[in-house]
Amino acid sequence: MMPKKYPIKKQCDYCNNEFIINNGMEKNKKYCNYECYWNSLIGKKKSKKTKLKMSLSNIGKHNRKHTDIEKLKIKLASIGRTWSTERRLLFSEYKKAHKNHLWKGGKDISVYKHYNNAKYRIWREKVFKRDNYTCQTCGARSGNGKAIILHPHHMKSYTYYPKLRYITNNGITLCKSCHLKLHFPKGVN
C-alpha cells in the first residue's frame, strides 16, 4: 500500500464541512475545530472506564469548591497580614507596564498616574503617620462619628520637583477642604 500524501481533505463528523489535514500527525482527526468536537460530546454518556480515568487524573488537584467554613477560615487567617515595604515595591515593579494584564501598549489616559505607584502610597502613609492623621491647617481629625478625608500635599510641586516626590519632609497632611482652598483660593466653579 502506498503511503498517503498530504494535504488530505476530510469531512467533519459533526458539521459535515470539509477540512484539510496538512501533516501525518493529524491523520485520525475527525472534527474541523474544537467547537465541533465539544458540541459532539453533548448528550453522550461516558463509560465507567472513562469516568474512572477522569477521577484518577483529578487526584491531588484542587478543583473542588470550598465550604463556607473553609472560606471563613481562609478569611480569618489573612486578617492582619501585612507586606513589608520591600515586598510591596517588588510587587509594584512586577505589575508595571507590559507585565500587567491590563497593559494597552503604553496608552495611558489617567491624569494621576502616581496613585497606582507603590512608592507614592508608602510616602503618603509616612506623611499621614508623621502628622498623626490630622490636618495641619485647621486641625481636623476623624473620630466621634465624624469622618474627615485627608489628602497628602506636596509642598514643592510633584511635577516640577521629581527628585523630591517621595521625600517625607516635602509632604503635609491636609483635609479635603483645606487642600482645595490651597489649590483654588478663589473657589471652584
Q: Which domain holds residue 165?
A: 115-189
Sequence-ordered strand ranges (E) for 4-90: 8-11, 18-21
pLDDT digits (tens, 9 = 90+) for 140-175: 888 777 888 999 999 998 878 888 889 999 999 999
Amino acid residing at 28: N
Domain membership flag for residue 14: yes
Domain membership flag for residue 54: no
Q: How far is CA 129 from CA 25, 85, 134, 188, in A?
A: 66, 15, 9, 29
Q: How confident is the model at residue 104 (pLDDT cuts 50, 70, 90)?
A: low
Residue with cell 515593579: 93
Domain membership flag for residue 12: yes
What is the DSSP secondary-structure string of 72-89? Answer: HHHHHHHTT----HHHHH
Domain count, the chain: 2
Domain membership flag for residue 90: no
Domain membership flag for residue 32: yes
Specify the pTM.
Answer: 0.44
